[in-house]
Structure 1
Amino acid sequence: MLIKVQLHICVLLLWLLVNSVVVLTQVVPLSSTVERTALFDLRVSLGIRARYWPRKPDPCGNWTGVQCRNGRVIGVNLSGLRRTRLGRINPTFAVDALVNCSQLVSFNSSGFSLPGSIPDWFGSNLNALQVLDLTSSSVFGPIPSSIGSLNRLTRLLLSGNSLTGNVPDSLRQLSSLSELNLSVNMLTGSIPLSVSALGNLTRLDLSSNFLSGPIPPEFGSLARLSYLNCSNNSLASNVPAQLANLSRLVNLDLSFNSLSGSLPSGLLINLQAIVFLDVSSNNLTGNLPDLSTLSSTLSNVTLNFSNNRFYGSVNSNVSSFDLIDVSNNYLQGLDVPTGNGTFLSGNCFLRLPNQRSLNDCRAFYASNGLPFDGDPVSPVQPPVRKKDNNRLKYVLAGVFGGLGVVIIIVIVSVLLLKTCNKRSVSQRSANVEPVVEEGNTKDKSIPVDILSLTNSFKYEQMLQATSGFSDANLIKHGHSGDIFSGTLEDGFEVVIKRIDMRSSRKDCYMTELELYSKDMHTRLVPLMGHCLEHETEKLLVYKYMPNGDLSKSLFRPTSLVDDGLQSLDWITRLKIATGAAEGLAYLHHECSPPLVHRDIQASSILLDDKYDVRLGSLSEVCAQGVDNNQNVITRLLRISSNPESTPSGSAPAICAYDVYCFGKVLLELVTGKLGISGSEDSSTKEWVDQTLTFINNYDKELVSKIVDQSLIIDEDLLDEVWAVAIVAKSCLNPKPAKRPQMAHILKALETPFRVVREEDFSSGRLRNNSSRRSWSAALFGSWRQSFSGSINSQSQTYKDSNSGPKQAVRDNSQGSGANDRRFSSEIFPEPIDNNDVERP
């Protein structure tokens, strides 16, 4: 009986327990009609999809991101929610309905686009708010001073937006604030002292703004601070010694500023909890602080002192740290322990690779009045007996005499080979050499101070503009160096080429500077400046091109839901082709001597905001007929030279190579097939040969089989496409001497109708029947005559090709059919023997 009673009691207790759990877990429905209306208004103003906020179910238990307590709304989280199609059309900071949620504790729109300014009523009406998270919400404008009225606020997260103006002084009133994140905005002015009044702060992030002035010494009073990040600003002055009072500090990042002076002596002695310290890319100087105390107390410590002006020796075992970077300073020493996480390059260590030159180190230490231990000690020479001196004289006389004879022979041989090569090149590429009008030849001996033509930037400016040459700013790896995007201090966008002198030609950057010293032509990418401070790397600064290069702009991803591609229209493509031809015509015909680009492809054709062409990749430019190989022995051993150059510099450069590469660019524009101009493999050559079979000056309809299907073209536009295809085929002739000059190509692209319509005899139409040649014959005349070996073709000048098209006339003596066949065969001459084919 007792057992039965006990069993009943257990069942009763279990029943009571289950019912209490159900009661406790049951969500109380939203009881406030005002708040219900506010949520529905917010649903409409933000365009929240019904799948997240359904209309009929109660918001407290069924709406994603809505949190309630006792039937009242205490939290709204928009992070991860998606708008309806109508809501995405014109999103704004439309959250006025929240003013009626008087008990709101948390508002989070992280990652949810709310373009607009923060309303003033946030501070005056949401008095219960404890968490305000607007991270990456597209918010702009100033931070309202009314935020200071939220005296219960513990977390204020506004990073990743476009906030402007100063940090409001009213933030001093947020006495409960534990986390303040204003990073990655456009805030200006100095750091207000009001921030130092926030005694409960544990995390403070002001990085990636435009803040200036000193770091407030009052930060040392923030005793609970464990995370402080002021990097990527324009902060100046010294690192305040009061930061050493932050005994709980774990992370300190002051990198990429303009801080100067030495680090406080007691900084690392007192910061015993620090595991991450970054003061890189400043103007700090003096001795490194003693690191021995850290190495003995902590593990996994990361220290970055790089890109400053620290000097002296390293006074601790740097290999004991998880990562330490002291590169690009002026530290010295003989024996420095290294490890996998130790970076010591760009200093004055005598026994380590990749250090500064001794002259640079000596000059630095001498200018600062410091001793430098890198001065080599002259070895003691043993006394030489008089008898041995005479023998040494005879040996040296024989050696230098023989060496002099060898040098004379080498010089004579080089002069003879140069003479022979010039004759060979002039004979074999006579039809490719541009002819300059007499009297227009530019003086080659005009003295120009190249470096004074553009701005000279400091290396620290370049680091700040590119976020330390970070991977996020890397555009691509170019032939001569890595290409980075950057933003200067005044907000001007630039592109920076970083040339590593250890892996590039020593004069590759001078090639571009010399080119710009001749003429800042409008078709060359504008050079804004340079930074030549370091021997190991040189930096060239160019104007940023908003539309990138042709390889990226021919097809661009759209913002549509299906992630489609938007194709450039034909008018824009023809504009690009004409602009590129104009730039090459300048190099080939207006420069003296003629210059060969040698790297024409879609990626070197840059486009500004109006799709106007600017030629880039100018590091390979050289004069026509010049051997770019710097090895004299290689020159002497090369008995015969190919008259056509490749970018490797293995043979003298000729303009016909640019013409061939430009022909492949034209094929890309016509067919829409990407990667043709930048490839030399067999599959690309096979595709080009097959495509050229569809280009025929007899039949326009054949071109429609290879035209980019994304183009919408009418009959007139198809004539233009046909004309450009004909020009492309003429550029891709296997024999360099049979390709047209760039001046003729430019004229053809400027008036493409006259290329096809005045030579179209399929309908039996004849132009003015006279003994004069037609416009197209005038366009390609000098090229054809030079191909046939006529000496008189040398008199055809660039002036003739630019004097405007002649009146279209034809010689009627042979009949239209004969003339048509003769013209087409001369535009596309076929080699007699398949073995007699020259390739670029």
Structure 2
Amino acid sequence: MPKLTSRAHPVHFLFLFFLPFFLNHAESQQLQAQEQQILSRLRHYWENLPTLSHWASPNSSSSHCSWPEITCTDGSVTGLVLANKGVSGTVPSFICELGNLTTLDLSYNNIPGGFPTVLYSCSKLEHLDISQNYFVGSVPSDIDRMANLQYLSLAANNFSFDIPPAIGRLSQLKDLYLYQNQFNGTYPDEIASLSNLEALGMAYNRKFRPSTFPVKFITGLKKLTYLWMADMNLVGQIPETISNMEALQFLDLSMNPLSGKIPSGIFTLKNLSEIYLFANNLTGEIPQRIESLELSVIDLSENNLTGKIPDGFGKLDKLQSLVLIYNQLSGEIPESLGRLPALTDVRLFSNNFSGTLPPDFGRYSPLEGFEVNSNQFTGPLPENLCLAGKLTGVAAYDNDLTGELPESLGKCDSLRIVTVSNNRLSGKIPEGLWTSLNLSTVKLDNNDFSGELPDRISWNLSRIEINNNRFSGNIPAAINAWKSLVVFEASNNLLSGPIPVGLTDHPLLTTLSLGQNNLSGNLPETIVSWKSLTMLNLSHNKLSGPIPEKIGSLPVLRQIDLSDNQLSGHIPSQLGLLLLTFLNLSSNRLTGKIPDELENSAYSSSFLSNTGLCASNPTAVQLKACNGGSRGSKEVSSNTLIFIVLAIASASLTVIIIGAYIPKIYQNRKPDSNYTWKLTPFHRLEFTESNILSGLIEQNLVGSGGSGKVYQVPIHQSGGFVAVKRIFNTRKLDYKLEKEFLAEVHILGKIRHLNIVKLLCCISSENSKLLVYEYMENRSLDQWLHLKKRQSNSNDVLLDWPKRLKIAIGAAQGLCYMHHDCSPPIIHRDVKSSNVLLDSEFNAKIADFGLARILIKPGEVDTMSAVAGTFGYIAPEYAHTTRINAKIDVYSFGVILLELATGREPNDGTEDMSLAEWAWRHMQEGNPIWDALDKEIREPCYLDEMSCVFRLGIICTGTFPSARPSMKEVLQVLQKCLSRLDIRVQKNTRDEVSATPLLRNSKREQALLDEDSSLLCRTY
């Protein structure tokens, strides 16, 4: 038999070769199954979050590594990112059964309880972010057990007590964020031992015990590039040794009570790109040595700095924003600043700068904002401010500038605002300036400008103030084409001729001031169109003829000055029906008896030098008596007798009352005069402390609420009013009211915006605090929209749709500024129609910041211990979790949009639904939008724009904050609505087409007119 030999088959070798791969694959499959099961348990533990509905069950064939929240390495979970998923339960211990987990992000959720120490079992964890939740209590003293951490964020929670020294033993840390908590103890020096730390954020822990700047940080944190310690109650001085932090790129020490000088070496940090030292008590000069050539932002505003701007600033080729406002800086501006190539934002106002402005501003850089007002500048404005075509605003008022306005401003379509009042500028206005597409405000008062007024102006131009100049010629007959006009002030010029009939065709006009000109002829009878007019000044002209009777039908007219003219005839009886706060008809040729309603001492100087006028009560108004003959004598005798009897009886009763109660009055009285008052101004004031205090009487009370009373106080020097909000307590001002007072002062005293109510000053004493605001003649939007429904006898006219849309845009501009342009951003927290105030021109302004909070960064949230706000306006996530970010303001503003479109009140749904819920239900049921719109103003020509605003209101009030647009996006949609409306109105007005280049030249605007209205909201 042949011998058998052993020989392995080739298949056996292949099997042996691939066996490890088969085993690894099997292990991998098993590991993935285990991980998928853990993730399924996690979702179930958090009550099957709808935001994680795409997570498949363990039996699913889909791999969990494909889920967007999961990061896998070699088929195993290493990263779990569950930010903003609506998690409201605690962190389970089994999460660490994901044995390879290195990254865990649970930020922007609603997780309660103490620090999740169960995560100590995640032995490989390197990145932990639990910011923006509801964690409370102390940070564990053994947190250093998480030894591998490189990134740790505990920001925006409610952690309190001390920051433990154990933090300083996390030796691998590169990023540490502890900002915006409730820490009320101290922070440890041990943080300085984190030698690898690159970013440290501890800002907005204002409850820290006062402490000096941590010098040890400077010596220990050599790799630190990001240092954020704003609003931390730091005291003392910034140490000179800060210049040793050579890696530093970002430095924010703003809003602390730091004092002393800015360290001389701070601008020698060669990597520094952004520096924020605003709102401290810093003094002295800005350091002259500049080596930080990477700087893009310098904000040293709101200190007490003196001296000049360093010449070295002119070497900062990357500088984009220079903000030095509200200091005491002086001297000339270095010419080299005008040649910086990246400069977009220049804010130097409210200092003592002098000399001429560098002529190259705007020549080499894309300048967007140029604010140099309230200084002592001389010479001309720079010629090339808008050379790059991006300039949006010029504010140069309250200086001593001369020369003409730059011609380049006439070619600047991006321009929105030009305010150069109170200078010595002269010459004609560049023709193109008047027709600049986006221009809304022009203030040229108190200069020496000349020339004639234009026939055509920008479709958007709503405010023209040219008082005290030398403009001449007739008011253009085509002034009816100035459709957006809200304020027109041109007093003390050389204007002549009649008042054109076209001027009365302005239903949005609220202020008309043409006094001290050479106007002649009769007043137009068509003034009935002035339904929004609150102030009319035509004094010191040569007007003749009668006062039109229809002037008495203007529903909101409050101030009339027709003095020093040649008006004749009777004063219309309808004039007495107006609720006038000021009336002057002196020095005319009026005759007859004045209306009975005007016979009181409030109008004592209103009728002087009209020899033909008389009154039944002549002593009250300084006129002769209309009564005469024996009949008059009998009446006087009888009336005198009655008066004497009543006077004796009244005097006797007064003596009895005083005798009985005067001891109690003196026993309980605590007059304000017993206290020392402190006045803190934020603007130039035309009144004194005593003017305000004397006006706090019951007759001037116009409202009251939970935080105090509001008074309308007359200011005698200017003839106007201010609004005074008084927070008062006979014992000690309670903590809540004190907090609201400080919040309003802190925010409103610093921000400046056309659509935010102006805080003029605050006045405080031991037992009372006063906030003095600009007076808003047309009260609140709430009263205009809803008061007529609540009071059937209300005489207020309805707001038409164009005015409502303009109010919506104004309010949106104010909120957009707060959210996107303030640093840090501001969240209002109580946006509602009663906090949207309307001035004499129906400009909308956001008011009542008693509940506002300043956030840290755009997109970050804050948590509050209690919900504040008003029913119907409160976002659902805020009502349930007391969690705030910018989207709660967007929700509230969406409710206002629904109010404007429907006319309903915020709680005016059906059954138990709010307006927002009612609107959502209306759309879900497929009902026509037309049925939801306000029946009292809806017209077919407004349907597209009203429908768009209604849809936008629904989008803004969406349940999920992430689905709501930002205020910047909301504003863009509203502006498109306004553009569309203006184009349609202009198109339908045949005689205006030739005067409107927008229609003749712009295909883009015509396309906007033709597109379907839904496109305006399609983005959302």
Q: Does the pair score TM above 0.5?
A: no
More helix by share: 1
More strand by share: 2
| TM-score, L = length of structure 1 | 0.42
Where relative contact order (Cα < 8 A, 6+ residues apart) is larger, the structure is 1
| TM-score, L = length of structure 2 | 0.36
